[in-house]
Amino acid sequence: MAGRRRREFGEIRKIQVTGGSTFIVSLPKHWVTNAGLHPGDSIVVYAQNDNTLLLMPLKEASKRKEVTLGIKNKEWSIDRAVRMLVASYVAGGDIVKLVVKDGTAPIEDKKILRDFINVEELKIINILQRMHKLVWSMIKDTITAFLNLDKDLARDVIMRDDEIDRFYFLFIRQLNLSLQDRRIMIDVGLEEPADAINLAMVARNVERIADHTAYISDKIIKLTKKPYDPLKSKIEELTKAVIEVFNEAMNALYSMNDNMALRAIERATKYMGLEEEIERIVSTVSATDKDTPLLRLIIERLRGMLVDAEDIAEHTMDMIAIRKR
């Protein structure tokens, strides 16, 4: 029976008191040996939300992961270098060194690499909040660029998509690290390990909405003239619907409010009818009009944004359901 209890619960140790007010418990010898610890060494104790303790040698807790990447000069391209950098960063590299064998990277490429991941370490929810605010501003500026045929503003929206990508990479990195280390899970604000999948999907939805705005902005640059009424007002109405559902879905996530999430889903369903109205209007435009194919692509992406916003609310509902089990 004693052996069975040991297997089920681990090694059982009694709490003792020393000095009248200090509680102590002995450490398993095999753990100390395997960790390479000796008398006088320090360990870090992390109190977990579920009343468990996480013990880690101080040298491990303070260790930074360094990764060195190599790329041959003849194989150099900024795209390949960025992909290698991102893969190592997302995998948990704290210090990533990129070495160009038999040569050196162009000066302009070095600046791109330095700037590519240049964001502070943030809690997961803070990263999502920053992505939310930035994407919200991108949607607003996209519709402004469309209504006024402001091609410079459209180009600015496209540039901001790179910033969303950086936050998304940081988010995935933090999520990956938290799943490997319970200490980091608490540090980055991940309350439930089961939330990881849904949060990853939410971040992907937000990043995809940013991609949609960049795509629409690219098509705006190619338009030959300002939109006409009633097409202009209907597309503006659909864009405002996207913003409304997106903001409500994100606020439902922050507050874990199922009623708010349900409202976002219901509104998204209601607003889907706008796309059909707009499509009927576009169908009346001359087939020889060069802007017609571009307008259809813009409408299609607006619908995609609405679907992604609705998905955020759906993932929030899933997270709330897990907490109610």
Q: At 4, is the pLDDT very low, low, confident or very high (cuts 50, 70, 90)? A: very low
List pLDDT tens digits, range 189-230: 666 677 888 999 999 999 999 999 999 999 999 999 987 777
State the CATH architecture for 124-323: Up-down Bundle (1.20)
Question: Looking at the predicted structure, is the pLDDT value of residue 265 above 60?
Answer: yes
Residue % of the chain over a pLDDT of 90 = 36
Least confident of 129-133, 139-143, 247-251: 129-133
Residue % of the chain over a pLDDT of 70 = 78
Question: Looking at the predicted structure, is the pLDDT value of residue 116 above 60?
Answer: no
Report CA Rg, the chain. 26
Question: Residue 317: its pLDDT value, please?
Answer: 95
Residue type, 239: T
Q: At 1, is the pLDDT very low, low, confident or very high (cuts 50, 70, 90)? A: very low
Query: What CATH class is the domain 2-61?
Result: mainly beta
Domain ranges (residues) in the chain? 2-61, 66-116, 124-323
Q: At 34, is the pLDDT very low, low, confident or very high (cuts 50, 70, 90)? A: confident
Question: Looking at the predicted structure, is the pLDDT value of residue 187 above 70?
Answer: no
Sequence-separated contacts (24+) of 104-112 with Cβ below 8 Å: 104/73, 105/76, 105/81, 109/76, 109/78, 109/81, 112/78, 112/82
Give the mean pLDDT of 49-61: 67
Nearest to 143, CA basis, from 69, 213, 77, 193: 213
List pLDDT tens digits, range 161-178: 988 988 898 888 888 777
DSSP labels, 241-285: HHHHHHHHHHHHHHHT-HHHHHHHHHHHHHHHHHHHHHHHHHTTS
List pLDDT tens digits, range 78-107: 777 777 776 766 565 666 677 777 777 777
Question: Residue 2: its pLDDT value, please?
Answer: 47
Residues 127, 167 contacting (CB under 8 angstroms): yes
| CA end-to-end distance (rounded Å), the chain | 33
**pLDDT averaged over every residue in the chain:** 81
